[in-house]
Structure 1
Amino acid sequence: MAPIAASRDEFEEIPTIVGIFSAFGLVFTVSLFAWICCQRKSTKSNKTPPYKFVHVLKGVDIYPENLNSKKKFGTDEKQQKSKSAIPKNSLHLDLEKRDLNGNFPKTDLKVQNSLEPENFSQKHFPEKESDCVSLESITSSTSSSSVDKPDKLGTLFFSLEYNFEKKAFVVNIKEARGLPAMDEQSMTSDPYIKMTILPEKKHKVKTRVLRKTLDPAFDETFTFYGIPYNQVQDLVLHFMILSFDRFSRDDVIGEVHIPLLGIELSDGKVLMNREITKRTVKKSSGRGELLISLCYQSTTNTLTVVVLKARHLPKADISSLSDPYVKVNLYHAKKRISKKKTHVKKCTPNAVFNELFVFDIPCEGLEDISVEFLVLDSDRGSRNEVVGRLVLGASAEGTGGEHWKEICEHPRRQIAKWHMLCDG
């Protein structure tokens, strides 16, 4: 019986040993966790921030160009070299000399005006040549340079080819170079190209939009089937170069017309380039007419627009008539602020709308206000085609400007007029 009692005592000591080891383990893990947290806090406090936000001081922008961790505000070797390379006359701001409020100490900087007569020394203008320089020569040179250098809209590069096996006409739009900047803030454009085969306008294609570039490389190929080779000479290619605008109507950069008469495609691919010209908007009697009534309420500062009728609208296809409707856009300082549209009239070249729209004018007077009317052909299968366009405003030409002048001179009077539609 003695050995059995000894074994029971040993089994009773095991739980106490396990409890002691677990207590030591818990104390160790808690102390280790606390030590790790202290180390992390110390390392975070010792680290310098990757960048600092510095405001603009008296028109001098000292904000860092790239907010990278490699470019810090400190006294590195590269910064010391750059400081030594700065000339004495240039304006230099030492960021380390700022006080606690971030201000710089006052220094006696004497900046001379370049237009003062003291700066015109003999080093810049010798005595022999000083008599030759005059204001008339400067003005004549600037005026002649402005006349000799017209506004260039860039160059379009493309290639033409005819596939005799498939009886298809192939156009490859390669690139455009030297486009003007249509966005004044970023000084870039978002160009894309629309191409139409004239005179029937059956084949219409467009490229993708390339963001923020003045030298877009499209490299897109368009193949048109069912065009016999003997009819290629009678066709004209029309390229429209535009800049995409998300908030208003896309800006038209220019256009290129290519008559295919005299271009031999039997020998293979033909590489071509043409200068982009300014778009010419001509009135065309084939676009039809639109009857519009306007009334300006000076007391409530509202403009009432009534789209009455449209007549002599062209056919969308040879076989069927168009399904017209009118889209009305209100612009303030070339920015669209409101838009409306009428109902669709089915299969008619002479549509009667009789729909009224009231626009709130954001400013007093109609000097910066213009109204655009777009007559479109409704097509469920594809994108709606613009049949004609009309603009009424202070800067509009022809009947559009006359109509606008009448409603400004005679407020609270409803004035209606027929207007010829232009190419959209």
Structure 2
Amino acid sequence: MAPIAASHQQFDEIPTVVGIFSAFGLVFSVSLFAWICCQRKSSKSNKTPPYKFVHVLKGVDIYPENLNSKKKFGVDDKSEAKSKSAMPKNSLHLDLENRDLNGNFPKTTSKMQSSPDPENSSSKHFSEKKKDSVSPDSLKSTTSLSSEEKQDKLGTLFLSLEYNFEKKAFVVSIKEARGLPAMDEQSMTSDPYIKMTILPEKKHKVKTRVLRKTLDPAFDETFTFYGIPYSQIQDLTLHFMILSFDRFSRDDVIGEVLIPLAGTELSEGRMLMDREIIKRNVRKSSGRGELLISLCYQSTTNTLTVVVLKARHLPKSDVSGLSDPYVKVNLYHVKKRISKKKTHVKKCTPNAVFNELFVFDIPCEGLDDISIEFLVLDSDRGSRNEVIGRLTLGSSAEGTGGEHWKEICEYPRRQIAKWHMLCDG
């Protein structure tokens, strides 16, 4: 029985020994893992970054050094002094800590260096003296003049004219436009396209494609008009309307160009020309007819009642003789169309009676930012409907349109009717 008891005591001591060895192993593995992590972190901190930050200060680009450079960020003052002394004198160096509040660098007077070419050095000094002699008042005047000129100028249109005697065709090539104003205030660009009409008959109407986000569009489009005899060209006038496409509202009119062809000789070949774009001259034409409109503003319900009553003395169409007029009514809020209506078509009459009422909900208090556009169109199933005349009523409208709008604002809940002359559409 004695040997059996001794063996039981030996087996009882084994778990304690295993626990001691496992604790020592655990401590050793944790300490080894911590040491490896510390070594990796120290090796990462000692590594050199691949390049420095790129600064852009008032048009001066400070490019980073070569990627193979051995210079580190953590160098001491001695190494910096050595690198400064080793730099060539002509190299660009900007001390970012010595800038003023506006981000400008102080002017430093550098000593004259001996140059091999005395003529170049004298010309440089002469130009520097000229720059220093310019007064700030003169600079202000030149900048103001340039800004005013930029506001007045609407760009230049480049085109070419040609007559093909074999095909008896008149050829107009719209090349490009330069220096157009930005009609989109957010992106400071435009989406220009051009409408061209041959006056006075207005039979030939074409337009170019829309070019996106450019102030110098290159159209390079050629239009050929057949059936125009060469003897008739002297009596024609080319009308170019430059517009900017707007997806959400009416297209913005940039300007127009009128080119009378009287005195032009196309027998010698192609003629290149360029014309300045001018503001659109919105002239009231007696030949466009008149429109009778009644308006009433309800301040309590914030609604505007528009009644299209009559149209008279509308011009005749070119082909069928009498036009088939109808009126399209567009409501604008700060140059953005928010609603549109249209009347029924009246067949073959220059004096149409509509008597149709439309009610518009005004999205703001008052009529200061509201305007209404009336388009009198000629209905044509075979082609696009042609605009006979146009009328705009609003606070910024001129003539009877502005007077009518002022009356409905001063006398709400009163129906006021007036005749208005239609403008050329």
Give the TM-score, by structure 1 length: 0.69
SS at match of 1:254: strand
SS at match of 1:375: strand
C-alpha displacement at 1:326, in angstroms? 0.5
Which residues of 2 match residues 210-249 of structure 1 at below 5 A?
A: 210-249=211-250
Change (3 A) 1:150 1:332: closer
The residue number in structure 2 matching 1:95 is: none
Residues 395-423 of structure 1, C-alpha deviation per residue, up to 9 Å, x if partnerless? 11110111011111111000000000111
Q: Distance in 1 between matches of 2:278 and 2:356?
A: 39
Supply the AA of the counterpart residue of 1:210. Answer: L
The residue number in structure 2 matching 1:414 is: 415
Residues 375 and 387 of structure 2 are in contact (CA less than 8 Å); yes or no, is this contact kept in structure 1? yes
Q: Distance in 2 between matches of 1:215 and 1:289?
A: 39
Which blocks of at least 5 consecutive residues in structure 1 are unaligned? 1-74, 91-108, 125-129
Supply the AA of the counterpart residue of 1:81. Answer: K
The residue number in structure 2 matching 1:280 is: 281
The residue number in structure 2 matching 1:183 is: 184
The residue number in structure 2 matching 1:308 is: 309
The size of the alignment, in residue pairs, is 321
Change (3 A) 1:223 1:133: closer
Change (3 A) 1:185 1:76: farther
C-alpha displacement at 1:82, in angstroms? 3.0
Change (3 A) 1:409 1:139: farther
Q: Distance in 2 between matches of 1:227 and 1:368?
A: 47
Q: Distance in 2 between matches of 1:329 and 1:347?
A: 24
Q: Distance in 2 between matches of 1:168 and 1:314?
A: 29
Change (3 A) 1:148 1:420: same
Supply the AA of the counterpart residue of 1:179. Answer: L
Residues 100 and 106 of structure 2 are in contact (CA less than 8 Å); yes or no, is this contact kept in structure 1? no
The residue number in structure 1 matching 2:262 is: 261
Q: Distance in 2 between matches of 1:123 and 1:241?
A: 51
Q: Distance in 1 between matches of 2:232 and 2:320?
A: 21
The residue number in structure 1 matching 2:403 is: 402
Q: Distance in 2 between matches of 1:110 and 1:413?
A: 70
The residue number in structure 2 matching 1:82 is: 53
Supply the AA of the counterpart residue of 2:171. Answer: V
Once the two structures are overlaid, the 10-residue window that deviates more, 318-327 or 143-152, is 143-152
Once the two structures are overlaid, the 10-residue window that deviates more, 279-288 or 169-178, is 169-178
Q: Distance in 2 between matches of 1:370 and 1:316?
A: 29
C-alpha displacement at 1:81, in angstroms? 2.8
Supply the AA of the counterpart residue of 2:52. Answer: K
The residue number in structure 2 matching 1:291 is: 292
C-alpha displacement at 1:188, in angstroms? 1.6
SS at match of 1:336: strand
User: Where do 4+ consecutive residues of structure 1 move more than 6 Å?
Assistant: 109-112, 119-124, 136-139
Which residues of 2 match residues 4-403 of structure 1 at below 5 A?
A: 77=50, 80-83=51-54, 113-114=101-102, 144-147=145-148, 150-317=151-318, 319-403=320-404
Supply the AA of the counterpart residue of 1:209. Answer: V
C-alpha displacement at 1:329, in angstroms? 0.6
C-alpha displacement at 1:310, in angstroms? 0.3
Change (3 A) 1:207 1:398: same
Supply the AA of the counterpart residue of 2:283. Answer: K
The residue number in structure 2 matching 1:41 is: none
Residues 98 and 106 of structure 2 are in contact (CA less than 8 Å); yes or no, is this contact kept in structure 1? no
Q: Distance in 1 between matches of 2:383 and 2:147?
A: 45
Residues 309 and 356 of structure 2 are in contact (CA less than 8 Å); yes or no, is this contact kept in structure 1? yes
SS at match of 2:308: strand
C-alpha displacement at 1:295, in angstroms? 0.3
- Greater CA radius of gyration, 1 or 2? 2
Q: Distance in 2 between matches of 1:111 and 1:218?
A: 47
Q: Distance in 2 between matches of 1:277 and 1:306?
A: 36
Change (3 A) 1:110 1:341: farther
C-alpha displacement at 1:133, in angstroms? 6.9
Residues 272-310 of structure 1, C-alpha deviation per residue, up to 9 Å, x if partnerless? 111111111001111100000000001100000000000
Supply the AA of the counterpart residue of 1:358. Answer: V
Supply the AA of the counterpart residue of 1:418. Answer: W
SS at match of 2:273: strand
C-alpha displacement at 1:173, in angstroms? 1.1
Change (3 A) 1:338 1:319: closer
Residues 68-126 of structure 1, C-alpha deviation per residue, up to 9 Å, x if partnerless? xxxxxxx962xx3335x678xx9xxxxxxxxxxxxxxxxxx9997559xxx999989xx
SS at match of 1:153: coil
